């Protein structure tokens, strides 16, 4: 059995139980929450790719352009024959720019919780880069137990670059973000590097538009989480009329928040459990923190990392930080 098949079999045996436990735990809190990592089933991944193409959603096109601009400089700093690891690899679009720029990359390891996204991106990358070893791994980069299953962590001499684009770091609270950065440092190893994308603070209306587009695709993406819970956990959410998408900017926390707001007093069944909602009560589904450069430096320092180089687009919308471990 291949490594991927082994990972799939092991993950499938516990994925539904973990999903159910996470959903019930989140919906029992005040305010109610759902983990954003469950957005990315097959339909969720497709909807997110559509979001990335929206006029309002500046993040993807800005980062793609910035990656193209700095590719040669990154390649020089990283060196030849590096192994690239991408936690939360998704469709694998951005890493293709990096792979084109790097000097004779040794192998690429996409680390992804969504099996659908992992299989699709692996197939495409093998076609576009036939000389590159692509070794997919299904797992959760926020879970150190999953990370420790990666055989590469035993290869101490290997030079690794951990690629973490898209401002995914912004989906986590500050404490969680430091923990994620710690995980990325573990993946990089003592002589490795981390390249992380960060969305910068900007005009609040631009931020709100990016998360509440006029076509309603972001709303569909948000509600698709309820569709997935219905399908996989035997629930009966009224995802069409029962909940409304809402995006707000939390000034104190410096973040966009996405919510699903109950349109009425209602009761939802999830398996043999029942969850009550009041009219106007929300489920907090996602955070997207926006940072100043100083905030980023503070976080990476707490994660025992330091900035080697950073780049920002001309408009000051987005930044990429190349990090290395702080050695004792």
> Could you give the CA distance from residue 328 to residue 326 in angstroms, rounded to a whole number?
7
The two three-digit tokens of residue 195, written as one number:
């390249």
Tokens 């919308």 belong to residue: 317
The two three-digit tokens of residue 122, written as one number:
């692996």
Tokens 């440092």 belong to residue: 185
- Beta carbons of 87 and 108 less than 8 angstroms apart: no
- Beta carbons of 99 and 132 less than 8 angstroms apart: yes
- Beta carbons of 162 and 150 less than 8 angstroms apart: no
Angle subtended at Cα 216 by Cα 116 and Cα 22, rounded to the nearest 5 degrees = 50
CATH of span 1-328: 3.40.50.150
- Beta carbons of 261 and 281 less than 8 angstroms apart: yes
Q: pLDDT digit string (tens) for 149-195?
A: 777 777 777 899 999 999 999 999 999 999 999 999 999 998 999 99
Per-residue pLDDT band at 7 (split at 50, 70, 90): very low
Per-residue pLDDT band at 1 (split at 50, 70, 90): very low
* Average pLDDT over every residue of 238-244: 97
User: What are the boundaries of each domain within the chain?
Assistant: 1-328
User: What local confidence, expressed as pLDDT, does residue 12 receive?
Assistant: 54
| Residue closest to 11 by CA, chosen among 95, 93, 111 | 111
Q: pLDDT digit string (tens) for 289-314?
A: 999 999 999 999 999 999 999 999 99
Phi then psi for residue 267, to 5 deg, are: -125, 135
- Beta carbons of 243 and 263 less than 8 angstroms apart: yes
Asked if the model's pLDDT at residue 79 lies above 90, the reply is yes
What pTM was estimated for this model as a whole? 0.89
- Beta carbons of 288 and 255 less than 8 angstroms apart: yes
| Adjacent-strand bridge partners of 287 | 257
């Amino acid at each position: 059995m291949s490594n991927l098949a082994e990972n799939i079999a092991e993950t499938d045996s516990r994925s539904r139980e973990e999903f159910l436990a996470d959903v019930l735990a989140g919906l029992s809190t005040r305010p109610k929450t759902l983990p954003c990592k469950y957005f990315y089933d097959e339909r969720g991944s497709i909807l997110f790719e559509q979001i990335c193409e929206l006029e309002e959603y500046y993040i993807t096109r800005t980062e793609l352009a910035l990656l193209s601009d700095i590719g040669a400089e990154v390649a020089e700093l990283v060196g030849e024959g590096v192994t690239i690891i991408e936690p939360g690899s998704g469709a694998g679009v951005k890493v293709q720019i990096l792979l084109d720029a790097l000097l004779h990359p040794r192998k690429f390891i996409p680390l992804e919780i969504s099996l659908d996204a992992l299989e699709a991106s692996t197939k495409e990358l093998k076609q576009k880069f036939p000389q590159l070893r692509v070794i997919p791994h299904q797992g959760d980069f926020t879970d150190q137990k999953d990370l420790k299953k990666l055989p590469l962590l035993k290869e101490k001499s290997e030079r690794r670059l951990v690629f973490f684009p898209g401002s995914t770091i912004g989906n986590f609270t500050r404490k969680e973000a430091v923990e994620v950065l710690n995980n990325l440092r573990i993946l990089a190893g003592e002589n490795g590097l981390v390249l992380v994308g960060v969305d910068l603070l900007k005009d609040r209306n631009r931020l709100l538009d990016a998360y509440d587009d006029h076509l309603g695709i972001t709303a569909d993406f948000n509600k698709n989480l309820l569709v997935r819970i219905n399908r996989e956990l035997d629930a009966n959410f009224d995802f069409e009329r029962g909940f409304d998408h809402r995006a707000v900017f939390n000034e104190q926390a410096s973040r966009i928040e996405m919510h699903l707001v109950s349109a009425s007093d209602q009761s939802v069944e999830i398996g043999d459990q029942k969850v009550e909602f009041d009219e106007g009560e929300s489920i907090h589904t996602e955070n997207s923190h926006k940072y100043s450069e100083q905030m980023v430096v503070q976080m990476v320092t707490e994660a025992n990392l330091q900035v080697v180089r950073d780049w920002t687009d001309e408009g000051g919308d987005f930044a990429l930080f190349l990090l290395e471990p702080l050695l004792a």
